[in-house]
C-alpha cells in the first residue's frame, strides 16, 4: 500500500508562524483564518496536522519551550544564585523587547484567562511556566548546598520569586514598557537574591 501524498509545508516553519500569532493575540484572540494565513496553509492541512486549535497551541508551546530550554540551560549554568537571577532577568529584559518577536512571553500572552470551552489553556501555560520554576529551584537548592545561598534561605521561594518577576516583566513588555524600564526592574529584583546570598569571603 502507498504512503500518500507528501505534505507540502514544513511543520516547524509553520509552527513558528503560528507561535507568533498566538503570542500577539492570545489563544482566544487568534483566529483560524489568521493562523492559516500566517502559516501559508489552508484549514484542512492545519487540522490534519495538529488536530484542532488547541492541538496547534500545544505544538507551538512545545516548540517555544524547547527553544527556551536551551537558553535556560545557559542561565542555570551561571556560577552563583545571584548570577543566575541576573542572567535570567537581564536576558528576559532583552528577549521580551526583541523586535524580532512580539513583546512579552508566549507563556503569558497565550492566555491568562479564557472563556468556557478553553478553561484548560491557562493551565497548560502555567504548567510550562512551572517547568522553568522547577529548573530554577533545583539550581537554588544546589546553591544552598554549596554555601552560595544562606542556610536560612528558601530555594523554592526564591525560584517562585524570580519566576514571578519574569512574568511581571513580560506583562510590562507587552503593554509598552521599553527595554531600559525592564532592565531597571531586573537590577532591583536581583538585589533580593543578593540579600539571600552568603557574604563573600
Partner DNA sequence: CCAGATATGTAGTGTTCACTACAGATGTGG
Partner DNA sequence: CCACATCTGTAGTGAACACTACATATCTGG
Residues of this chain that interact with its own copies (CB under 8 A) are: 23-26, 28-31, 34, 104, 108-116, 118, 122-123, 125-126, 129, 154, 156-158, 160-161, 163-169, 171-172, 174-177, 181, 184-185, 187-192, 194-196
**Alpha-carbon 135 to chain mean position:** 13
Per-residue contact flags (x/-) with DNA for residues 116 to 135, judged by CB under 7 A: x-------------------
Asked whether the beta carbons of 166 and 88 are under 8 A apart, the reply is yes
- The distance of closest approach from Cβ of residue 24 to DNA in the complex, given in angstroms and rounded to an integer, is 14
CA distances from 117 to 33, 93, 113, 121, 126 (A): 19, 34, 12, 9, 17
| Beta carbon nearer to its own copies, 29 or 43 | 29
Residue whose C-alpha is closest to residue 186's, from 75, 100, 20: 75
As a whole number of angstroms, the distance between CA 144 and CA 150 comes to 6
Cα 145 to Cα 71: distance, rounded to the nearest angstrom: 24
Contact range with DNA by CB under 7 A, out of 49-57, 125-133, 153-161, 183-191: 49-57
The residue among 44 and 151 lying less far from DNA, judged by its C-beta, is: 44
Give me the residues that bind DNA (CB under 7 A), please: 1-9, 30-33, 41-45, 47-49, 52-54, 115-116
Amino acid at each position: 500500500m502507498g504512503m500518500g501524498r507528501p505534505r507540502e509545508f514544513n511543520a516547524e516553519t509553520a509552527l513558528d508562524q503560528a507561535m507568533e500569532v498566538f503570542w500577539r493575540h492570545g489563544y482566544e484572540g487568534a483566529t483560524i483564518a489568521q493562523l492559516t494565513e500566517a502559516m501559508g496553509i489552508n484549514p484542512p492541512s492545519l487540522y490534519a496536522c495538529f488536530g484542532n486549535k488547541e492541538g496547534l497551541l500545544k505544538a507551538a508551546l512545545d516548540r517555544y519551550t524547547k527553544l527556551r530550554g536551551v537558553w535556560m540551560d545557559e542561565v542555570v549554568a551561571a556560577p552563583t544564585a545571584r548570577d543566575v537571577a541576573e542572567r535570567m532577568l537581564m536576558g528576559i529584559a532583552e528577549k521580551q523587547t526583541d523586535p524580532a518577536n512580539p513583546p512579552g512571553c508566549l507563556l503569558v500572552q497565550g492566555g491568562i484567562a479564557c472563556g468556557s470551552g478553553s478553561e484548560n489553556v491557562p493551565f497548560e501555560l502555567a504548567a510550562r511556566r512551572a517547568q522553568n520554576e522547577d529548573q530554577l529551584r533545583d539550581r537554588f537548592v544546589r546553591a544552598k548546598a554549596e554555601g552560595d545561598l544562606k542556610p536560612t534561605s528558601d530555594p523554592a521561594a526564591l525560584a517562585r520569586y524570580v519566576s514571578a518577576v519574569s512574568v511581571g516583566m513580560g506583562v510590562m513588555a507587552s503593554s509598552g514598557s521599553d527595554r531600559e524600564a525592564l532592565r531597571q526592574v531586573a537590577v532591583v529584583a536581583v538585589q533580593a537574591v543578593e540579600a539571600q546570598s552568603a557574604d563573600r569571603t
